[in-house]
Amino acid sequence: MEPTTFGVLADGREVRQYVLANSTGMTMQVIDYGATITSLSVPDRNGNIRDVVLGYDSLDGYVNGSAYFGAVVGRYGNRIGKGRFTLDGSEYRLTANDGENHLHGGKVGFNKVLWDAAVAEGSGSPAIRFTYTSPDGEEGYPGTVTLKVTYTLTEDNALRVEYEGVTDRTTILNPTQHSYFNLTGNFNGKILDHLLMIEADSYTPVDAGLIPTGDVLPVEGTPLDFRAPRAIGERIEDAFGQLALGGGYDHNWVLRNYTGPGEIHKAAELYDPESGRLMTVSTDQPGIQFYSGNFLDGTAKGKNGIAYGRRTGLCLETQVFPDSPNKPDFPSATLKPGQAYRQTTIYQFSTR
Ligand code: BGC
């Protein structure tokens, strides 16, 4: 797996692109800037292979963009209210980069740094491991954190994402993968006809800043009920307060099948009736953020010069709940020295 040069950063460092391919035709391109997936090409029901993730043609887009296309976000995926939290009696203040709140690791999150890359041997499938060491105090977070993210492409068209993180001081860690999927492979169209199923009976409602209120509410009787597959566009404009706040779906669902660290369970299923492409998301995390691409507004010029309009892609981000550091009843994102943070999330592709 020989890398090619994808671009050069302002400080002269080279950004490299790697191609992972299995023997059945699925391919993935990934760069060491942000450990970003730049393309993911999978067959439809007739065997036509198309790229199903949004992204940019060149490094410029990734450096200057603010949509987190394809990147690993961290240290904390999603928001922390007012960018503040207390750990072991000390208060920490993180960069506020989303109004008064902290989002996806701050101004220079894991998506905006160069990672070390190494081809990962051993599993028999093409795999690459990215490593980033985040210095103590970066974006306000305590502790030096080293995070490894391994992408493996299996013969049965699964993308396996494994995370492993350690720290030298008590801190918080909640990285996630921020790919925007559009299973039609046509980025001029929207994701509103995709059918989504989420293995969740409840969700965490948010306030106007998209910070969880701390409540856990049933999805039953609301447009957030995806217990059975439903078209994303079916209820997205319903007069329901939570949808108005997010401009559509932008919430954390509480995964029913979560039993504890390390236990992988099915979290969601996304299906495009037109192409027949089906993506199943499995994870060992307690929550998933379904973000329907509401803030895409056509200003981001993506691959092949296509301007990405509202809802041309959607994210399914496996995670600990947003603002957990300030919500004692939510699953904890605390990581202590001597412990290892671990996450496995699998995006399995097939057709129907
Ligand atoms: C969040 C959105 C945010 C987007 C940024 C998503 O993970 O849920 O609220 O605007 O990332 O691209």
Residue carrying structure tokens 């080279």: 14
| Pocket test residue of 73, 101, 102, 103 for ligand 1, highest count of atoms within 8 A of CB | 103
**pLDDT, tens digit only, all 352 positions of the chain:** 899 999 999 999 999 999 999 999 999 999 999 999 999 999 999 999 999 999 999 999 999 999 999 999 999 999 999 999 999 999 999 999 999 999 999 999 999 999 999 998 888 899 999 999 999 999 999 999 999 999 999 999 999 999 999 999 999 999 999 999 999 999 999 999 999 999 999 999 999 999 999 999 999 999 999 999 999 999 999 999 999 999 999 999 999 999 999 999 999 999 999 999 999 999 999 999 999 999 999 998 999 999 999 999 999 999 999 999 999 999 999 999 999 999 999 999 999 9
Nearest to 62 by CA among 19, 15, 2, 20: 15
| Pocket test residue of 97, 104, 204, 211 for ligand 1, highest count of atoms within 8 A of CB | 104
CA distances (Å), 293 to each of 125, 297, 326, in order? 32, 9, 26
| Pocket test residue of 66, 78, 181 for ligand 1, highest count of atoms within 8 A of CB | 78
Residue carrying structure tokens 């296509």: 306
104 annotated active-site: no
Atom of ligand 1 nearest to the CA of 178: 7
- What's the CA-to-centroid distance between 78 and ligand 1, angstroms? 7
CA distances (Å), 134 to each of 78, 137, 187, 230, 340, in order? 18, 8, 34, 40, 15
Dihedral over alpha carbons 191, 152, 324, 210 (to 10 degrees) = -20
Nearest to 54 by CA among 310, 267, 270, 352: 310
The active-site residue out of 102, 178, 194, 251 is 178
**Helix, strand, coil distribution of the chain in percent, nearest 5:** 10, 40, 50
In terms of Cβ atoms closer than 10 Å to its own Cβ (0-12, 13-18, 19+), residue 10 is: exposed
pTM of the model: 0.98
Residue 269, SS3 per DSSP? strand
Dihedral over alpha carbons 301, 55, 72, 136 (to 10 degrees) = -40
pLDDT score of 151: 98
Nearest CA to ligand 1 atom 5: 67
How far is Cα 217 from Cα 327, in angstroms, rounded to an integer?
Answer: 15
- What's the CA-to-centroid distance between 308 and ligand 1, angstroms? 15
pLDDT score of 272: 98
- What's the CA-to-centroid distance between 291 and ligand 1, angstroms? 6
- Tell me the β-bridge partners of 91: 86
CATH of domain 4-351: 2.70.98.10
What Rg value do the Cα atoms of the chain yield, rounded?
19
Q: Name every residue whose Cβ is closer than 8 Å to that of residue 25 and which is 6 or more positions away in sequence.
A: 41, 43, 47, 49
Atom of ligand 1 nearest to the CA of 73: 7
Whether the Cβ atoms of residue 191 and residue 292 lie closer than 8 Å to each other: yes
194 annotated active-site: no
Instruction: Break the chain into its structural domains and give their ranges.
Output: 4-351
